[in-house]
Amino acid sequence: MENMIIRDFETKDYDRVLELNDESVHFLSPLTKDKLKRIISESEMMKIVEVDKNVEAFVLTFRENKEYDSVNYLWFADNYKEFLYIDRVVVSVKMQGKGLGKALYESVISHAKSNDVPYVSAEIDIKPPNPGSLVFHEKFGFKEVGKQTVYEGKKVVSLQVVKID
């Protein structure tokens, strides 16, 4: 998409990021502005995608050894010495299927390569199912390394990694 730019998160993006998160909250955990500020301070990278100067997507990642209490992040922390964890990638409903998520994942993998991070990790909902996400991650070479029941049994996630060469 020729009118798309990927850039670092800026404080002016808080409200739009919260809107995007709320729009897809059924696949994510909810965020408040305070929680978002806290997790960004611990994050490795947070990238924004603008299309025609409108924020339409973002990705938030963490390295190992951070003070982050996500049960899925903690699973990877218990099982991998070094990794880059994709906590959330969100694309506005109106822009889904237009390559924004792909561009964000390419930036995450590029970041991992340039920082000698051996694995990129993520989780995908399998109960309730998110087949589009499974196919998307498969295209990037992600493989399941575990499963976990979360949110008091309401969700089951597939814990996946891709080895970075």
pLDDT above 70 as % of the chain: 96
Strand partners, 62: 85
Distance, CA of 7 to CA of 34 (rounded, Å): 22
**The pLDDT of residue 57 is above 70:** yes
Distance, CA of 145 to CA of 30 (rounded, Å): 26
Report the pLDDT value the prediction gives residue 66, as an integer from 0 to 100.
94
Find where tokens 């991998």 sit.
80
Name the 3-class secondary structure at 46. strand
161 pLDDT band, cuts 50/70/90, is very high
Q: Which domains does the chain have, with CATH numbers?
A: 4-117 (3.40.630.30)
Tell me, letter by letter, the H, E, C secondary structure of 128-157: CECHHHHHHHHHCCCEEEEEEEECCCCEEE
